[in-house]
Structure 1
Amino acid sequence: MRLRMPWRVGQKILESKEVPRGKGWVETQLKLTDFEPGEEKETELAEAVKQHLMCGEKLTRFYRLARRDIDRLQNDFVQTEVPPSELKDVFPMVLEDEDLAEIGSDPTVVQNIQFDDGLAVFFGSVRVVTTREPLEIDQMPEDAASALEGWDELIGVRHRRLHSIDVLWLPNDDDFVEVRADYPIGISRNVGEEVHRRVRNKIAELVGYDVLQTPVNLFPLIDGIYRQRDGKVVELSFGTTTASLKNEKMRRKRLCLRDEAYHRGGSAALELPIQPFNLSVVWQRRLGPNRFSLPELSLRSTSYESGSANPQLFDAVISKCMGHSDYDYVRGRILSYL
């Protein structure tokens, strides 16, 4: 869980399973040193990891296919034997950085799982994540600290290997196939796009034909979700008829930017409506008394794309999902606009 999940998601899962937790993953691991969860709770936590592999922190593309093509894909993958690999052997667990040095970046099928509503094909691979982390100068050895005197901030760049799981989702009841690329903090949009290319090529190689050709254009959803007051908007970038560009972000996730006084006042002063091109929206879903999950959808484009004759956006960032239920809810909201 520590290797896969944002802390805010992980701590809610631990709470729901009645597992001790501290302030963050490090303190939680210390608390769990002598904790004996028992076989039933271990199974529940392993299931939570599996659901996060399928639904957590994904850069998703949708492909609209004829039902016969989806049925054919399902049949192809059900009959395809999963090749032996170290990534297959550990599934649904994931390997740490030091165990990934000899594993390549080419995606390989590690598991096919049939659910009530569709077939999930899991692809394992290794990719490099680059993070920039602040370093405390006053905690450096004396010689290093004196050499850095006069600098206000020190940033360290860390490169680490990540055991990634990308998913092909083949539904039973609708026409929208998905490729869900792993998209944790630290992975750039360019890397996400390259992952989609590799997974799509691997799917074509395995089934013998290029079935996933043009993803669904999600750009119209930005304006649609904003106008329909669907969910709570926590970030919005837009152009105005006065030739300005604005980016607004709510600091508290349970408040909606649409209702913020500055945003409403500025929008009302314009002769024509604003033109959104970048939006993040959160839905609050009840887990129990005073407990909620906050799955988030981000649709990120640019003002340049917005001004084109036919603006296009193929990627949806779906994050902070605790499992199938949260992801399926966000998916349902997306499909309602397509």
Structure 2
Amino acid sequence: MNARDQKATEQELKQDILDVLAALRARQECYPFSMVRNQLKAAKMPTSNGWPPLIEKFVEMVASRERLLECREELRRIYLQSLVVGTRAISIFEVDKREANVAAANIDALLDVTSDFAQAFPLPVSDEKLRKAGFNGVFCAIRKYEDGAVRLIACCRRAFRTREAIDVAGLDGDAKNALEGFDEVIGVKNGWVQAFDSIVVRPVEGTIEIQIDIPCRLTREDFGKARNFYTDRLNGLFGERFRNEKWLMLPRNLYPLISKLYARNDGYVNSLGHATTTKSIKEERMRGRQSDLRKETFHEEGMAAINGATDEYSIRKGWDTADGQRTPTVLISGHFGAAGGANPQVGYAFIDGCADEDDFAMVMSKLVL
């Protein structure tokens, strides 16, 4: 227990808890409430069916300082995991292992410890500061692992736009009159959310991972811009040292994995996009993470009818965690126009449904050609 905790009042500890809950809630688009609730339940902490009642439980909670500290530390653990897993787009770059060792030892040169993001980390910055922040990542924290891997965390502002139906009957005065006669009125809301991207250097594997956090809906163009920004920063830092200004150029091509993931008997194939030799395009999906398309009657009989002659161009597949509590998934999404092509390319995969780094590592272990 640090000096601050020793002197902290119960009210201060409770405020710590509420601050972490607010930060976790802000990540609900990429780290869902159910993930938080299940971990709290396993730790015998207060739970509920949604964010407002959960926060209210902690506001009204009467507990000893020791119990408040336990709750705060468990919530912090969950929150810190949410910053490095959740829903993410992953690109993997293969490099010389010696270069990866050099990069791991020197990548902290990119850190900006004076930034607002670094000063607030691991909590998010205030709404006012986020509104003024840029869309390019600011490197604000570093983590080192026992196997020599290093994670550099970068924060930035990401924009989102939502559309919601407006209940005209609930309006009053001139607004209601102005919209009279419309069957449906849609309101568009713009906003921002803080993202926590990662650069992970793995000397043992000889790889650099660029992990783009997805706390709100992003387009392919958004992914491309974010990844290019990080490769430019890394090339700028290490290009001259390695005598290669384009040190990180092309990520590992994950397209060949699509057919291999389908063929491997493990896990659950939740969805498959494929172009058959009979010139049809199929987009097949199952309901539920533990549903396997390969065992579905319609799919089985269709594949048998064409003797399995099809070109897969996208797949979503999941695997149960060791404790059987979750089924994280990976999505590799190509375009049907690439099916059967000479050298189709997909440079990133989407991983979601992970509660912690062990879940994430399990999914990453499946992405082996």
- TM-score higher than 0.5: yes
The code of the aligned residue for 1:198 comes to: F
Pick which of 80-89 and 294-303 moved more.
80-89
Answering whether residue 126 of structure 2 is matched by residue 126 of structure 1, we say no
Answering whether residue 78 of structure 2 is matched by residue 48 of structure 1, we say yes
- 1:224-243 alignment to 2 at 5 Å? 224-243=260-279
- 1:168-207 alignment to 2 at 5 Å? 168-207=199-238
Shift of residue 12, structure 1, vs aligned partner: 2.2
For these two proteins, the number of residue pairs brought into alignment is 333
Which residue is equivalent to 2:4? none
In 1, the alpha carbon distance for the partners of 2:81 and 2:32 equals 14
Q: Select the residue among 178, 187, 190 that pairs with 1:159.
A: 190
Answering whether residue 35 of structure 2 is matched by residue 2 of structure 1, we say no
1:85–1:110 contact (8 Å) kept in structure 2? yes
Which residue is equivalent to 1:264? 300
**CA deviation map 1:53-80 (0-9, x unaligned):** 1122110000111100100101112466
Pick which of 206-215 and 216-225 moved more.
206-215
1:134–1:156 contact (8 Å) kept in structure 2? yes
Q: 3-state DSSP class of the match of 2:277?
A: coil
In 1, the alpha carbon distance for the partners of 2:300 and 2:181 equals 44
Which residue is equivalent to 1:246? 282
Pick which of 58-67 and 167-176 moved more.
167-176
Q: Select the residue among 92, 100, 103 that pairs with 1:70.
A: 100
Which residue is equivalent to 2:12? none
1:96–1:163 contact (8 Å) kept in structure 2? no
2:195–2:215 contact (8 Å) kept in structure 1? no
Shift of residue 226, structure 1, vs aligned partner: 0.5
The code of the aligned residue for 1:311 comes to: P
Structure 2: gaps of 5 or more residues: 1-23, 241-245
Answering whether residue 52 of structure 2 is matched by residue 26 of structure 1, we say yes
The code of the aligned residue for 1:167 comes to: S
Call closer, same or farther: CA 1:46–1:147 in 2, change over 3 Å: same
The code of the aligned residue for 1:275 comes to: D
2:116–2:125 contact (8 Å) kept in structure 1? no
**CA deviation map 1:254-296 (0-9, x unaligned):** 2211111111111111144222211111112143xxx611211
Call closer, same or farther: CA 1:135–1:24 in 2, change over 3 Å: farther
Call closer, same or farther: CA 1:186–1:153 in 2, change over 3 Å: farther
Q: 3-state DSSP class of the match of 1:285?
A: coil
Normalised by the length of structure 2, the TM-score is 0.83
Call closer, same or farther: CA 1:267–1:49 in 2, change over 3 Å: same
In 1, the alpha carbon distance for the partners of 2:179 and 2:48 equals 34
- 1:247-326 alignment to 2 at 5 Å? 247-287=283-323, 292-326=325-359
Normalised by the length of structure 1, the TM-score is 0.90
Instruction: Indicate the RMSD between aligned Cα atoms, in angstroms.
Output: 2.3
Call closer, same or farther: CA 1:30–1:142 in 2, change over 3 Å: farther
Of all paired residues, the percent bearing the same amino acid is 25
In 1, the alpha carbon distance for the partners of 2:139 and 2:152 equals 7
Pick which of 237-246 and 132-141 moved more.
132-141
The code of the aligned residue for 1:67 comes to: K
**CA deviation map 1:186-207 (0-9, x unaligned):** 2222212211111211222344
Pick which of 51-60 and 76-85 moved more.
76-85
1:96–1:162 contact (8 Å) kept in structure 2? no
Which residue is equivalent to 2:255? 219
Pick which of 17-26 and 291-300 moved more.
17-26
Shift of residue 304, structure 1, vs aligned partner: 0.8
In 2, the alpha carbon distance for the partners of 1:164 and 1:218 equals 25
**CA deviation map 1:91-126 (0-9, x unaligned):** 111235444112122222101111113110111111
The code of the aligned residue for 2:54 comes to: T
**CA deviation map 1:108-152 (0-9, x unaligned):** 210111111311011111121223334445544476556556655
The code of the aligned residue for 1:21 comes to: T
Pick which of 70-79 and 147-156 moved more.
147-156
The code of the aligned residue for 1:211 comes to: W
The code of the aligned residue for 1:100 comes to: L
Larger of the two Rg values belongs to structure: 2
Q: Select the residue among 110, 118, 121 that pairs with 2:140.
A: 110
